Amino acid sequence: MTSAKNYKDKKVLPLVERLKEVVKALTIKCVQLAEQVKKLTAKTAGQQEQINRLTDKVMEQRNKIDRLEEKAADLERLERYFGKEQVQSVVEQSKDLERAEKANMRPKRAFEMSR
């Protein structure tokens, strides 16, 4: 039979030391995991913000596409009513007018003024 002191020294104390090491390792792992959770939560929040921003951008683009499709439909209606050539002629005249107005609005450069 072993004495209580001998049992304590050979069995209990080594077991307690191993348990301390296990608790220490688990505590360290828990702290590491808590930090990882914090980082991942921040990353998730950033990604959610980006998703919201991109969703808004998609909605804006969808609205723009809808407006452009409506304008295309209106142009087709005009082409059916007036004829494609006449509508195209009016569009080209309008573009030419815009270009001429833009050229007149452009500030003159010094070398252009001396001509």
Q: What is the mean pLDDT of the chain?
A: 92
pTM listed for this prediction: 0.57
CB neighbourhood size of 79 (10 A): 14
The per-residue pLDDT for 109 is 67
Query: Cα–Cα distance between 26 and 38 in angstroms, integer?
Result: 18
The per-residue pLDDT for 106 is 76
The per-residue pLDDT for 5 is 86
| Cβ proximity of 75 and 87 under 8 Å | yes
Write out pLDDT tens, residues 54-109: 999 999 999 999 999 999 999 999 999 999 999 999 999 999 999 999 988 877 66
Q: Where are the domains of the chain?
A: 4-82
What does the block give as tokens for 3? Answer: 């004495």
What DSSP line would sit under 56-102, residue for residue?
Answer: HHHHHHHHHHHHHHHHHHHHHHHHHHH-HHHHHHHHHHHHHHHHHHH
Write out pLDDT tens, residues 7-62: 888 889 999 999 999 999 999 999 999 999 999 999 999 999 999 999 999 999 99
Per-residue b or e along 23-55, where b marks 16 or more CB atoms closer than 10 Å to that residue's CB: eeeeeeeeeeeeeeeeeeeeeeeeeeeeeeeee
